[in-house]
Structure 1
């Protein structure tokens, strides 16, 4: 594959120079063609050059990195966020961005992110499709709302699903099985903890070490054979003893007038 033409966008000089050095030393497939300290400078680079990858900071004076997303999408450039942003933004990034790196940047995580981008761009070139996850991400943050959709990698592509369509998620070693209300099951290479951190806590609750449930589908709970819950689709799930207190507190909060 040809070198990935890359730009770095960050308002902090140290962050720009350190990332430049890390990429030069550890990612031979990357060709850095420009460095910008603002969204405006980055837009100029995009207008003058073909860009495959953008390493993009979020919090910058005057503007934020998300304002570059429409220009990046137009050129079909992959975006990797480099950020020390707040928890809400991290959740949105996990849901929709190709990848993100928390500052200070870890070398191994950087290599993994670049490898992921390389594979992604190869797939997009073969399929001739444009990825709309950046648009979804920008819209989610602009509305200052909870995440409404997540992207699940499977096979040679990605599947966008609404969080409201998730019945429950069960752990399977280093994988998770996402059960949808359509009866479809999707196995993804994410541990359950990642979904627990990602999905809205008001809607999703860990009821067992291996189960995360969408409480919107809860219709019954009982103590016949240990604490169990029943979902609208007829599936019965166990609630572990150590999570029972949290479960009942959540139920109380949901049933308050």
Structure 2
């Protein structure tokens, strides 16, 4: 059973999420509902909270200001928001999950199931703290995301974007090929990382491949367009992505030559 609190300044949002959880998630116990960060802090002091459904844009203190309290309480965070693009990228990188309003029932069920799995997983407290710490840093720096938290069979691994050589799609999974590390397989689709990673450095060259241009050694047209990466791997560029690839390479090499 997951102990849950809902934090949102809008009455309709609070009541609708409460109803959806009550009707569709049998393993959820709603400990309390808060309409501000301060009220949520009181609930965290009173209850052993596993999961926080947290709105971002609230008057007074926004949802991000609750992150340190969530870390101290070892609580996982799911953002419920329609916030700006940068925040969504940071949330994808570090939070357990996010739900866009209006909340879809099936997505809510998946999120609760994901939370349950994390909580029973050995070492989950440390994993959660690492994700939330990374989120706080990302939002404070206000720059492109420098690190990703990758949940995998061993727990959660924090990976710098500069370590990523390329990412390979494998059905509904993404396989990260890393510099000086073993491959890491993550149960998220490639499109999520395509949207998340800085497009000045990463380019999708095929439906099943994203490469880091910093590891591009050469490309040639011997058998269609093919790239050779610095780790020796060769990957074909699909015909419909050739133009985009060439533009990205031109832009990337031009920007780096100015430095």
Normalised to the residue count of structure 2, the TM-score between the two structures is 0.92
- Equivalent of residue 163 in structure 1, options 152, 161, 164: 161
Deviation at 1:50, TM superposition (A): 2.0
| Counterparts of 2:248 and 2:227, CA distance in 1 | 13
- Equivalent of residue 6 in structure 1, options 4, 7, 13: 4
Summarize the Cα distance change of 1:156–1:179 in structure 2 as closer, same or farther, 3 Å threshold: closer
Deviation at 1:234, TM superposition (A): 2.1
1:112 match: 110
| Counterparts of 1:172 and 1:8, CA distance in 2 | 35
| Counterparts of 1:193 and 1:129, CA distance in 2 | 28
1:127 aligns with 2:123: yes
SS at match of 1:135: helix
1:149 match: 147
1:39 aligns with 2:37: yes
1:80 match: 78
SS at match of 1:138: helix
The structure 1 segments of at least 4 consecutive aligned residues displaced by more than 3 Å after TM superposition are 126-129
SS at match of 1:145: coil
| Counterparts of 1:95 and 1:156, CA distance in 2 | 18
| Counterparts of 2:123 and 2:181, CA distance in 1 | 28
1:65 aligns with 2:49: no
Summarize the Cα distance change of 1:167–1:65 in structure 2 as closer, same or farther, 3 Å threshold: same
Summarize the Cα distance change of 1:46–1:184 in structure 2 as closer, same or farther, 3 Å threshold: same
Unmatched tracts of structure 1, length 5 or more: none
1:245 aligns with 2:243: yes
> Is the CA contact (8 Å cut-off) linking 2:205 and 2:237 kept in structure 1?
yes
Aligned CA RMSD, in angstroms, stands at 1.5
Deviation at 1:183, TM superposition (A): 5.3
SS at match of 2:214: helix
2:191 match: 193
| Counterparts of 2:46 and 2:181, CA distance in 1 | 48
- Equivalent of residue 220 in structure 2, options 222, 226, 232: 222
SS at match of 2:57: coil
1:15 match: 13
Normalised to the residue count of structure 1, the TM-score between the two structures is 0.93
Unmatched tracts of structure 2, length 5 or more: none
Deviation at 1:56, TM superposition (A): 0.3
